[in-house]
Amino acid sequence: MAAITEKMQDALNGQITAEMYSTNLYLAMAAYFESLDLAGFAHWMRVQAKEEDFHVHKLFDYITERGGRVVIGAVEAPPVEWASPLEAFESTYEHEQEVSAMVSKLVEVAQAENDRATESYLRWFVDEQVEEEASVDRVVKMLRLGDGQPVAMLMLDREMSARPEPTPPTPAE
Ligand code: FEO
């Protein structure tokens, strides 16, 4: 199979930078939750950060496999504070929607470049975004229901601590 085009390679490299930002954003949120002594929420965010790191490596592997060159770009620093746990999760939800839009753009580039292999490969990311948005939306709804009440927050924190460690996706996935 022919190597990926430069345009496709650049677009995928841009996604690597975005996924690195996501990793750092969720680590920053984990630190924010640690500062509130919400260890369960912090754990959830650390797991999320690991998932984002898997996305970075998955893209890295794909570009390399297709004879492209990975370029690591500058990553903007994430925020440090949020007004409340709810606000942190609302921004997580917005962020994941932006990532979903970026993945859709990548699919468009693949189509414009007539790169069926990359288009097919990106299906995994399209599906992953559906899952990510749904799981964050669920937490946003639970936080709204809990309305910042201490008992509700403690119960939620316990639930968040049960998020299992992620398993890395295989390159073929
Ligand atoms: Fe890698 Fe949360 O998107």
Q: Quick one: what percent of the chain has pLDDT higher than 70? A: 98
Residue found by looking up tokens 């970026």 in the block: 102
* Long-range CB pairs of 53-56, under 8 A, 24+ apart, other chains included: 53/19, 53/23, 54/166, 54/168, 54/169, 55/19, 55/22, 55/125, 55/128, 56/16, 56/19, 56/20, 56/23
- pTM (2 d.p.): 0.95
Q: Separation of 152 CA from ligand 1 center, angstroms?
A: 28
Asked if residue 132 has its Cβ within 6 Å of ligand 1, the reply is: yes
Rg of the chain over all Cα atoms, to the nearest angstrom: 17
Looking at residue 171, what is its pLDDT? 59
Q: Separation of 151 CA from ligand 1 center, angstroms?
A: 31
At residue 169, does pLDDT exceed 90?
A: no
Give CA 104 to chain center in angstroms.
14
With cut-offs at 50, 70 and 90, classify the pLDDT of residue 173.
Answer: low
Q: Quick one: what percent of the chain has pLDDT higher than 90? A: 94
Query: What is the pLDDT averaged over residues 140-144?
Result: 98
Looking at residue 19, what is its pLDDT? 98
Q: Separation of 54 CA from ligand 1 center, angstroms?
A: 9
Average model confidence (pLDDT) across the chain: 96
pLDDT digits (tens, 9 = 90+) for 54-109: 999 999 999 999 999 999 999 999 999 999 999 999 999 999 999 999 999 999 99
Q: Is-contact 107 119, C-beta < 8 A? A: yes
Looking at residue 98, what is its pLDDT? 98
Asked if residue 20 has its Cβ within 6 Å of ligand 1, the reply is: no
Compute the CA torsion angle 87, 88, 91, 92 (nearest 10 deg).
Answer: -140
